């Protein structure tokens, strides 16, 4: 059953491409070229260059965590790529160093579950006029479009040019390699992820957060949003959103349908509370799975 679900996921040719051989040596050559370029232009120190080069990298491997909270038998799997010690792992960590400050500038940003709980404790609303709603972005990591995400990152790095000695163009080159060459092994076969990012990659949460932030700025919180006046509060923890809504339930459902036509890669599911905050199981499961990923990856 586990193997069948892995094969079902990997059989999605929109997300994954089977490779004919191990691409590790090719990626090492690309890394060597970028590192040499970085040293030559004084964008990398010798210490940073040494960090980025893995002499004997591990092969990243694919596994799934069953989504038992979905209530389906058999449960669908959440795809994970264990990449610690792989050729792209230090690159992902290095790029994330530049992404984290951008993520923390996001107006809707919630840092972690503690931040979420503090916010929930502080939220007050008029139950006669407002609704407490949660939204979940379905399969955000695997649906996140790679080229569009890099475009968003390019604009953000350019807008924040001057805050680092490292060229934004060089950071983008590194991010491009880490994202577009994200490969892994399952059993005896190698695969390339051609859409989305993989849970298990250090910079994946930052990339997805920045892509959704762009959607929020361009669509949700934009002055042209016809529902903007009904949004009293919009806060997000990765792919889980807390919304305080001043309209009716019927209007909220129309808003949800409108959201789901705005971006072909983002699909929102909405849960409306009945005078209290709906319990968002996804958020808790996401936090637990992050802990599981960390424990598995250190094995």
Residue 123 pLDDT > 80? no
Residues 156, 160: Cα–Cα separation, whole Å: 6
Residues 140, 207: Cα–Cα separation, whole Å: 11
- Tell me the pLDDT of the chain averaged across its residues: 87
Q: What is the DSSP string of 236-288?
A: EETTEEEEEE-S-HHHHHHHHHHHTTT-TT--EEEEE-SSSPPP-HHHHHHHH
Residue 269 pLDDT > 60? yes
In the structure, what pLDDT confidence band is assigned to residue 275 with cuts at 50, 70 and 90?
A: low
Contacts of 255 (CB under 8 A, 6+ apart): 227, 230, 245, 247
Percentage of residues in the chain with pLDDT exceeding 70?
Answer: 88
pLDDT at 282: 46
Question: Rounded mean pLDDT of 204-224?
Answer: 96
Residues 291, 199: Cα–Cα separation, whole Å: 12
- Tell if the pTM clears 0.85, that is, is over it: yes
pLDDT at 199: 87
Question: Residue 95's closest CA among 159, 145, 41, 31?
Answer: 31
Distances in whole angstroms, Cα of residue 229 to Cα of each of 101, 224, 244, 275, 277: 30, 11, 11, 20, 21
pLDDT at 238: 85
Sign of CA dihedral 92, 161, 108, 268: negative
Cα three-residue angle 142-147-153, rounded to 5 degrees: 100
What count of Cα atoms within 13 Å lies in the side-chain half-sphere of residue 109? 17
Q: Give 30-50 pLDDT, tens digit per residue.
A: 999 999 999 999 999 999 999
| 213 CB neighbour count, 10 Å cutoff | 22
């Amino acid at each position: 059953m586990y193997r069948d679900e892995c094969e079902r996921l990997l059989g999605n040719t929109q997300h994954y491409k089977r490779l004919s051989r191990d691409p590790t040596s090719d990626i090492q050559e690309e890394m060597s070229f970028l590192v040499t370029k970085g040293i030559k232009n004084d964008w990398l120190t010798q210490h940073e260059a040494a960090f980025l080069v893995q002499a004997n990298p591990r092969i990243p491997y694919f596994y799934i965590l069953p989504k038992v909270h979905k209530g389906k038998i058999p449960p669908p799997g959440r795809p994970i790529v264990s990449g610690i010690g792989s050729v792209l792992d230090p690159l992902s960590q290095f790029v994330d160093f530049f992404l984290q400050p951008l993520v923390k500038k996001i107006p809707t940003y919630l840092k972690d579950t503690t931040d979420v709980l503090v916010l929930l404790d502080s939220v007050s609303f008029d139950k006669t006029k407002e609704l407490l709603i949660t939204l979940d972005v379905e399969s955000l990591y695997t649906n996140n479009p790679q080229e569009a995400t890099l475009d968003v990152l390019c604009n953000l790095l350019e807008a924040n040019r001057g805050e680092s000695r490292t060229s934004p163009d060089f950071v983008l080159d590194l991010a491009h390699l880490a994202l577009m060459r994200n490969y892994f092994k399952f059993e005896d076969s190698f695969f390339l992820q051609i859409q989305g990012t993989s849970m298990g990659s250090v910079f994946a949460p930052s990339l997805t957060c920045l892509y959704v932030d762009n959607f929020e700025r361009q669509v949700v919180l934009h002055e042209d949003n016809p529902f903007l006046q009904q949004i009293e509060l919009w806060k997000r923890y990765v792919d889980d959103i807390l919304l305080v809504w001043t309209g009716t339930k019927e209007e909220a459902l129309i808003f949800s349908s409108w959201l789901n036509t705005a971006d072909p890669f983002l699909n929102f599911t909405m849960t409306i509370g009945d005078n209290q905050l709906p319990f968002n199981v996804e958020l808790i499961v996401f936090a637990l799975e992050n802990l599981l990923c960390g424990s598995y990856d250190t094995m």
